[in-house]
Amino acid sequence: TPTSEIRKGLAGVVADHSAISKVNPETNSLLYRGYPVQDLAARASFEEVAYLLWHGDLPTSDQLEEQTKAERAARALPENVKAAILELPAGCHPMDVCRTAVSQLGAHDPQAEDSSPEAELAKALRLWAVMPAVVALDQRRRRGQEIVPPRDDLGYSANFLWMTFGEEAEPAVVKAFEASMVLYAEHSFNASTFTARVITSTLSDLHSAVTGAIGALKGPLHGGANEAVQETFEEIGTADKAVAWLDEALASKRKIMGFGHRVYKKGDSRVPTMRAVLGDLVEHYGETEVLDLYDTLEQAMGERKGIKPNLDYPAGPAYHLMGFDTNIFTPLFVASRITGWTAHIMEQRASNALIRPVCEYNGPDERQVP
C-alpha cells in the first residue's frame, strides 16, 4: 500500500539491501565489502578493488592473475567503435562520447543479451578494461594527437596514463591516479548507481544500464562536479581572491561545486585521502599555489555555511595537475565507477524486483475533452 509521505529526491528512503558498500555518515566512513576505503586506497591496487567489488572478497594471487590476463587482453578498442567515436563532433561533451561508446560496445558485444552471472561478469570486465582506451582516445583526438594503443606490460593506471599522454608516467603520478580510481569506484545508492539498478530491474541488459548511469553521472550535482571545481579554481585565480569570490557567489545563491553531500553532512570519508594525494602531487610538480586556494576556500565555506568538501573537491585539481583536460575529469570518474555500477547491476539481477515507485497526482481534476 502506498504511503502518503513524499520524500523529494528520495532523501533518506531505504530502497533495498546491498552488500557492496556501506556508507556511515555518523563516522564519516565508507567500506567496500567491509574494507575501509582509505585502507584500500593505501594498500590495494585498483584491479584488486574491482575484483573485490564484483566477487565480495579480495583476490588470491591466482585469481588476480587470471583477472589481469583477461583485463589486459580486452584493453584495445574494437575498430568499429573507434571509428564511431572519431565521427563524433569535436565539440560534444566527453561524457557523450563515453555514453555513446558504451552503447556501441553493447551493440557489438556477442554476449549483450546473455544475462547469466558468468556473462555479466565477463561483460563487466571487458567494459572496465576498455574504458581507458575510450577516455584516452577522446582527449587525444580533441588535442589533435595521434592515438596511442594500449600496452599489456603495464598495470591499469600506468597504461591509462600511457595511452592518454603517450609517455610513461612517473611512479608518484601513477600512485596518485590509482588512489583516485579506488576512491571513486563505489558509493552505494548514488544517483547513477540507482539509475543502473532501475534499468536492470526491467531485465534490460548491462550495457543499457551503464549507458543510463553515465547520463546520470554527467550532471554537475553528481559526477560533473569535479570539472566544475576546476572551473571554479580557474575563475577565482589565486587564494587572496577566494573569500571575496565566495561571498559574492553565495550572495547570488550559487552552489559551490565540490561542497556538500546528500549523505555525508559532517564530511566526506574519501576527502582526507584524496586531499593527501593532492598534497603529494603538489609536491611532485612543485605547484603550491593550488593548495593555498584549496584550503582558503574550504575554510571560508566552512565558516560561512558549515558545508564540507566532497571527493570532487580534491579530485578536480589533482586531475588538472596530472595533465588531464578539465572536460575529461568526469569520464575518469566513469572509468572507475564502472566497477561499482556493474557490481550493483549483478546484485540487482540476483534478487530482482522491478523498481517502480508511485507519485501523488497534483494536476487538474478530471475534465471533459471539448
Task: Please list the active-site residues.
Answer: 261, 312
Compute the distance between CA of residue 7 and CA of residue 367 in angstroms, rounded to an integer.
29
Which among 42-50, 143-151, 196-204, 256-264 is the span making contact with ligand CMC, rule CB under 6 A? 256-264
Phi/psi-derived region of residue 323, left when phi > 0, alpha when psi is between -120 and 50, beta in every other case = left
Q: Is 25 or 155 the residue whose CB approaches ligand CMC more closely?
A: 25
Distance CA 263, CA 23 (A): 8
Contact 106, 208 (CB under 8 A): yes
Which residue intervals of the chain are DSSP H helices? 37-43, 46-55, 61-73, 79-87, 94-108, 117-142, 156-165, 171-184, 191-201, 206-218, 225-236, 242-251, 271-285, 289-305, 312-322, 329-350
What CA–CA distance (Å, rounded) separates 269 from 23?
A: 9
Long-range (24+ apart) CB contacts under 8 A made by 114-117 are 115/203, 115/205, 115/206, 115/349, 117/346, 117/350
> Smallest distance from the beta carbon of 184 to ligand CMC, in angstroms?
9
Q: Report the C-alpha gap between 93 and 95 in whole angstroms.
A: 5
Please tell me whether residue 262 binds ligand CMC under the rule CB under 6 A.
yes
CB of 311 to ligand CMC, least distance (A): 6
**Region near ligand CMC per CB under 6 A, out of 18-26, 55-63, 101-109, 307-315:** 307-315
> Taking a C-beta distance cutoff of 8 angstroms, is the pair 97, 85 a contact?
yes
Q: Residue 14 or residue 369: which is nearer to ligand CMC going by CB?
A: 14
Q: Does 312 bind ligand CMC (CB under 6 A)?
A: yes
The CA distance from 330 to 326, in Å, is: 8
Site string for ligand CMC, 164-193 (x = CB under 6 A): --------------------------x---
Candidates 91-99, 105-113, 148-156, 254-262 — which segment interacts with ligand CMC by CB under 6 A?
254-262
Contacts of 136 (CB under 8 A, 6+ apart): 148, 160, 163, 164
Task: Say whether residue 88 binds ligand CMC (CB under 6 A).
Answer: no
Q: Is there binding between residue 267 and ligand CMC (CB under 6 A)? A: no
Maximum CA extent, the chain: 73
Member of 207, 222, 275, 337 binding ligand CMC (CB under 6 A): 222
Report if residue 337 touches ligand CMC, rule: CB under 6 A: no
Rounded to the nearest whole angstrom, what is the least distance from the CB of residue 182 to ligand CMC in the complex?
Answer: 15
Contact status: 317 vs ligand CMC (CB under 6 A): no
Applying CB under 6 A, does 331 fall inside the site for ligand CMC?
Answer: no
Secondary structure letter of residue 170 according to DSSP = P
- Give me 99's grid cell: 555514453
User: Where does residue 274 rank: exposed (0-12), middle (13-18), buried (19+ CB within 10 A)?
Assistant: buried
Q: Which of 258, 317, 331, 340 binds ligand CMC (CB under 6 A)?
A: 258
Which of 22-30, 150-158, 306-314, 342-350 is the region at the interface with ligand CMC (rule: CB under 6 A)? 306-314
Instruction: For ligand CMC, give the closer residue by CB, 70 or 307.
Output: 307
* Whole-number Å distance between alpha carbons of 154 and 291: 31
Shortest distance, position 73 Cβ to ligand CMC, whole Å:
31
Binding-site member from 261, 275, 337, 349 for ligand CMC (CB under 6 A):
261
Please count the residues of this chain forming the interface with ligand CMC, following the rule CB under 6 A: 19
221 is a contact residue toward ligand CMC (CB under 6 A): yes
Binding ligand CMC by CB under 6 A: which of 55, 93, 141, 255?
255
Under the rule (CB under 6 A), what is the footprint of ligand CMC? 9, 190, 221-223, 225, 255-262, 305, 307, 310-312
